[in-house]
């Protein structure tokens, strides 16, 4: 099975490094200093579970990567509109595309399982570019449950967790999900295959919609936000609003708000991916994570005053920053 990691950042790079360590056929797509460092020195992983170093194939040109059996979309959601039109040379007759993005994925309403079939969320897929480039039938959803950071070009620190759930968007079981999961398990990751990927998406959203923008506004870690009484109250209110949207879509979130907050506190002094992006001068993954849920609330007639307040402040923060490159 040939893997192409389309975006070898903190998440994609870690997955690719694990696959390479296990001897899987994997190519990483990277750019800039990160690409040059991997070409020259390989990719180093720093982890409490054991440091390791690999020399995977890496390219800065997708046209050189060749067809892949599995394309893992490792870029942030806002970069997909630039990336996916360039994937055509990688897509063969049986290629599977694994989405790893936070937030509501572009494919969410494009299969029959959805309560709002065919709904287009402009904040997730501006102009429908992603949906036009990737056949939804190719997609396997995934949810990442580990914390990683690029600490230097060619160096990724693994802070916590090693689970990545896979699931078919329509809730079915499939041989392709099992095959991909088996490869990831050989690579040392926990990789359950779930028939409830939609429910798991909302479990993660419950935390991300609240913690990510607040962390960008306050520079606080997960533990810092969870332990602050005032912020904890705001988080609780945002989570209740997110839960109301999920319930309206027929999704039952199998975890309480208090359990979700406690889980974030347990992760400790970890910076959310949005805070990491802010500090690194990268665009914030704001629209797919927060804006999309706010857009759904509008369409469903659900008031979301706390979510909208934090979202508006985070958008202003993003708008006030100097222009950054979004090249992937």
Positions marked active-site: 204
Pair 104, 296: CB distance under 8 Å? yes
Q: In this structure, is the dihedral angle defined by the CA atoms of residues 154, 159, 164 and 169, taken in order, positive or negative? A: negative
Report how far residue 302's alpha carbon sits from residue 245's, in angstroms, rounded to the nearest whole number.
Answer: 7
- Residue 288 has a CB neighbour count (10 Å cut-off) of 23
CA 242: distance to chain centroid? 18
User: Which residues are CB-neighbours of 154 under 8 A, at least 6 positions away?
Assistant: 34, 37, 38, 40, 41, 42, 43, 44
Helix 175-186 and helix 10-21: axis angle, to 10°? 80
Report how far residue 273's alpha carbon sits from residue 144's, in angstroms, rounded to the nearest whole number.
Answer: 12
Q: How is residue 190 written in tokens?
A: 């926990």
Pair 178, 96: CB distance under 8 Å? no
Element (H, E) at 34: helix 32-41
CA distances, 58 to each of 24, 31, 183 (Å): 14, 10, 19
φ, ψ for residue 116, nearest 5 deg: -125, 65
User: Which residues are CB-neighbours of 95 under 8 A, at least 6 positions away?
Assistant: 67, 68, 69, 70, 71, 138
Report how far residue 282's alpha carbon sits from residue 70's, in angstroms, rounded to the nearest whole number.
Answer: 27
């Amino acid at each position: 099975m040939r893997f192409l990691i389309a975006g070898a950042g903190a998440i994609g790079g870690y997955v690719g490094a694990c696959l390479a360590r296990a001897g899987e056929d994997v190519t990483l797509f990277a750019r800039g200093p990160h690409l040059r460092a991997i070409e020259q020195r390989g990719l180093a992983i720093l982890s409490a579970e054991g440091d390791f170093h690999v020399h995977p194939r890496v390219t800065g040109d997708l046209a050189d990567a060749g067809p892949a059996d599995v394309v893992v979309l490792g870029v942030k959601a806002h970069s997909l509109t630039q990336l996916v039109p360039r994937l055509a040379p990688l897509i063969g007759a049986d290629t599977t595309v694994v989405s790893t993005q936070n937030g509501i994925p572009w494919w969410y309403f494009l299969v029959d399982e959805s309560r709002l079939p065919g709904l287009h969320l402009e904040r997730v897929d501006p102009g429908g570019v992603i949906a036009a480039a990737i056949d939804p039938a190719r997609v396997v959803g995934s949810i990442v449950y580990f914390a990683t950071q690029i600490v230097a070009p060619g160096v990724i620190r693994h802070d916590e967790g090693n689970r990545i759930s896979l699931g078919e968007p329509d809730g079915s079981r499939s041989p392709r999900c099992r095959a991909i999961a088996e490869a990831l398990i050989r690579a040392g990751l926990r990789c359950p295959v779930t028939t409830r990927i939609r429910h798991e998406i909302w479990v993660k959203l419950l935390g991300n919609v609240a913690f990510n923008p607040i962390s960008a506004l306050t520079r606080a870690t997960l533990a810092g936000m969870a332990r602050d009484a005032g912020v904890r109250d705001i988080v609780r209110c945002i989570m209740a609003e997110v839960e109301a949207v999920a319930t309206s879509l027929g999704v039952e979130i199998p975890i309480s708000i208090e359990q979700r907050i406690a889980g974030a506190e347990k992760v400790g002094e970890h910076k959310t991916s949005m805070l990491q992006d802010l500090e690194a001068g990268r665009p914030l993954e704001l629209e797919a994570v927060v804006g999309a849920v706010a857009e759904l609330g509008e369409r469903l007639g659900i008031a979301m005053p706390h979510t909208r307040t934090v979202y508006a402040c985070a958008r202003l923060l993003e708008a006030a920053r100097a222009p950054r490159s979004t090249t992937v």
